[in-house]
Amino acid sequence: MDTEQKLERLCAIGAPSGFEHPAVLSAKEMLEPMMDEAWIDRLGSLVGVRRCGKPGAKKLLLDAHLDEVGLTVIGIENGFLRFHGIGVDARMLPDREVAVLTEPPMLGVVACLPPHVLSAEDREKAPKMEELFIDVGLCQEEAERLVPLGTPVVYKTNFFRLGERQLCGKAMDDRACFVSLLRTAELLKDQELNVDLYILGSVCEESSGAGASVVTQALSPDYCVAVDVTHGRTPDGPKEETFVLGGGPAVGIGPNATRWMVKKMLDAAQKEGIAVQKEIMEGSSGTNGWGMQVCNEGVATAVLSIPLKYMHTPVEALDWNDIEDTARLLAAFAGSFGEEGAQ
């Protein structure tokens, strides 16, 4: 199974925050062959380790989260489902196709009024989550029987190419980054390391960041890298806050990134001839790195991001080359520990 097939397989799974287990199981199957050991912790995160076999070796933890944005059913009215959001902007929802993760799953659509019956004033208003419903084509009695309260809902699965290099679909945030970690492990397969390499597929990033923080607290790594997505360049996006798809991963610079880790990342990119972009983060990076950095006595942290268009929508898009270059950079970064003058 190649990188694109792994990504398609992971993105097809409905697994929003708090309901990640199906994605974690699939990710574990892909990760296990490249690790000495892999396990699922108490909160449901996936952890794998490849030990270098050297006494007193430092620990390097690479994280990408496996949850996605979604919805949770909170009530049923006349057969229509009411819901709360899990990291979803209400503006993204009217007329969207969704998958209600019952057993078996059922399709639905987020109901919307046609423009013909809206007033000019209403057409200018952003929808509110509490005003929206999911239509699953059922009467009240059937819906109550088939859709328990608390059932998760995700965007309908889609995965396709845009042009020759871009991949598009739901849950690219952040399963594309986890696939990049799988690719990192492949690139390091026959390389001797001076650190014990831990790969984390964390849960609950879109809701709290608890999954990564708990694992970091438990493992007490010496170094960690939060690998996530950042905003890709579009015609309507501010150039100073967006990044070019195909321009390489973005290295975070700011208080969530340890200075020597940033330099080490940039030096590795230069040595390997890997194009990178620099993302200035004046405060929280908005990634798991923010919580991981302050675990225990503090962890030296870096943030590395793949540019992604249309974040938290069912048509998230990124460049395949950025997935590969992220893996190449992480492999070079991991391999640089223990070199002369390295931390």
Displacement of CA 187 from its chain's centroid (Å)? 21
Q: What is the pLDDT of residue 237?
A: 85
Contacts of 279 (CB under 8 A, 6+ apart): 230, 243, 250, 251, 252, 253, 303, 305
**pLDDT value for 341:** 44
Q: Which residues contact 146 (CB under 8 A, 6 or more apart)?
A: 102, 106, 138
Asked if residues 197 and 62 have their Cβ atoms less than 8 Å apart, the reply is yes
The β-bridge partners of 201 are 46, 64
pLDDT reading at 307 higher than 80: yes
139 pLDDT above the threshold of 90: yes
* pLDDT over 90 (residue 38): yes
* 313/170 Cα distance (integer angstroms): 7
Q: Is the pLDDT of residue 324 over 50?
A: yes
pLDDT digits (tens, 9 = 90+) for 187-237: 999 999 999 999 999 999 999 999 999 999 999 999 999 999 999 999 988
CA 108 to chain centre: 24
Measured in degrees and rounded to the nearest 5, phi and psi for residue 40 equal -110, 125
Question: Among all chains, which residue has been given the structure tokens 């390389």?
Answer: 191
Residue 174 host element (H or E) = helix 172-187
pLDDT tens per residue, range 12-26: 999 999 999 999 999
Dihedral of CA atoms 263, 249, 291, 224 in degrees, nearest 10, equals -50
109-132 pLDDT per residue, tens: 998 755 545 555 655 666 888 889
pLDDT tens sequence across 265-294: 999 999 999 999 999 999 999 999 999 999
Report pLDDT digits (tens) over 149-179.
999 999 998 999 999 999 999 999 999 999 9
Average pLDDT over residues 241-250: 97
Q: 343 pLDDT exceeds 70? A: no
- pLDDT of the residue at 108: 97
Residue type, 182: L
Sign of CA dihedral 249, 253, 256, 258: positive
Cβ–Cβ < 8 Å for 127, 118 = no
What local confidence, expressed as pLDDT, does residue 116 receive? 47
Query: Is residue 328 scored above 50 in pLDDT?
Result: yes
> Per-residue pLDDT averaged across 54-82, rounded?
97
What pLDDT, on the 0 to 100 scale, is given for residue 131? 87
Between 338 and 314, the higher pLDDT residue:
314
Catalytic residues: 205
For range 291-315, the mean pLDDT: 97
pLDDT tens digit string along 85-108? 999 999 889 899 999 999 999 999
Percent of the chain with pLDDT over 70: 94
Look at residue 122 in the predicted model and tell me its pLDDT: 58
State the pLDDT at residue 32.
98
